[in-house]
A = this chain, B = another copy of it.
């Protein structure tokens, strides 16, 4: 490992933003660096409150992210922003108005903004995003905002990555995607109707509230758990969170105080009910599982000559052997 990395890690922990930026770039480019950085930083992680902000293009996610960050700064909380949304103005596609507002963040040492949109493929949160969040967590940011675009796998991923998932809607949008909304409601801890000054905002709030009460959970969310004892499940059902629907007008700076209040309440709720630790455990399980699968696969593949693998998959493509036969051949290969 580069001796520079350890120097940067030390500098980062004493507050150097330049070292932080360098570490993140290194983590993005090299999985071995990511592993070393996370090994070193792990004991310092677990403090940051990770927010997932998601919604369809046009709902105003980036404006809301900007205004929410400004509101959190007024409360003396430091904020890291990771924009995974390829349509995000944080990536460089901002309208002039957005840029002016974002300028208010840019000069603030209590804010760190990173766009990862150009790195990823369409959709999906990468393991890189997860590594970058750990670095920002260790760097001491109080709140991390991950902005992703809906609708797709990214939303599901964000719900397992974030402590608090915020789904943003806007009036007059997405009325043809009720079924998707039903899916979105399954992941939301907080619902926001942005652009609340527009026609149809009140109706949108009402329809969301109605969907919440019609849902299987009756307007509350029992956080999904992978490892759970009956006692834990019972505790969880007693500790449901009533999903709030909040109106905001990001570009006019309205509703942000309500939103920030709910975000902080949700953190308290998670911690008091033990769900914070549950979510951390669930995330550990998912991340470890992905790493274990990567390593096991690499071990198997390393044993088999590439030429033979090519032959096996060509035989499958030509229907000479079936997929399952190929799997058996690869798993049972002995030199």
Docked-complex contact A319 and B281, CB < 8 angstroms = no
Query: Is A122 part of the contact surface with B, judged by Cβ < 8 Å?
Result: yes
Name the contact of A151 in the complex, choosing from B38, B123, B319 (C-beta under 8 A): B123
Q: Taking the nearest CB of chain B, how far is it from the CB of A96, in angstroms?
A: 14
Please, how many angstroms separate the alpha-carbon atoms of A69 and B292 in the complex?
A: 43
Query: Is A271 part of the contact surface with B, judged by Cβ < 8 Å?
Result: no
Docked-complex contact B288 and A38, CB < 8 angstroms = no
Docked-complex contact A284 and B152, CB < 8 angstroms = no
- Residues of chain B within 8 A of A319, CB atoms compared: 42-43, 45-46
- Residues of chain B within 8 A of A39, CB atoms compared: 322, 324-325
Query: Is A237 part of the contact surface with B, judged by Cβ < 8 Å?
Result: no
- Name which residue of chain B comes closest to A152, CB basis: B152
- Residues of chain B within 8 A of A300, CB atoms compared: 292, 296
So how many copies of this chain end up in the complex?
Answer: 2
Please, how many angstroms separate the alpha-carbon atoms of A283 and B313 in the complex?
A: 9
Docked-complex contact B285 and A327, CB < 8 angstroms = no
Interface size class of A (residues with CB under 8 A): 35 or more
- Residues of chain B within 8 A of A310, CB atoms compared: 227, 281
Name the contact of A324 in the complex, choosing from B291, B313, B316 (C-beta under 8 A): B291
- Residues of chain B within 8 A of A179, CB atoms compared: 86-87, 91, 93, 117
Query: Is A234 part of the contact surface with B, judged by Cβ < 8 Å?
Result: no
Query: Is A309 part of the contact surface with B, judged by Cβ < 8 Å?
Result: yes
Interface residues of A in 45-75 (CB under 8 A from B): 45-46, 56-58
Docked-complex contact A277 and B123, CB < 8 angstroms = no
- Residues of chain B within 8 A of A76, CB atoms compared: none
Interface residues of A in 181-240 (CB under 8 A from B): 182-184, 186-187, 227
Docked-complex contact A281 and B316, CB < 8 angstroms = yes
- Residues of chain B within 8 A of A93, CB atoms compared: 178-179
Docked-complex contact A180 and B58, CB < 8 angstroms = no
Tell which of A12-20, A153-161, A246-254, A255-263 binds the partner.
A153-161
Docked-complex contact A313 and B284, CB < 8 angstroms = yes
- Residues of chain B within 8 A of A313, CB atoms compared: 227, 281, 284-285, 288
Name the contact of A180 in the complex, choosing from B86, B287, B309, B331 (C-beta under 8 A): B86
- Residues of chain B within 8 A of A28, CB atoms compared: none
Known: A122-B153, A122-B184, A277-B318. 15 other contacts (CB 8 A): A38-B322, A42-B321, A43-B322, A123-B152, A124-B152, A149-B180, A152-B153, A153-B153, A280-B317, A281-B313, A288-B313, A292-B300, A292-B330, A292-B331, A295-B327
Going nearest first, the 9 A-B pairs with the smallest beta carbon separation are A152-B152, A153-B153, A123-B152, A280-B317, A284-B316, A123-B153, A42-B322, A296-B296, A281-B317
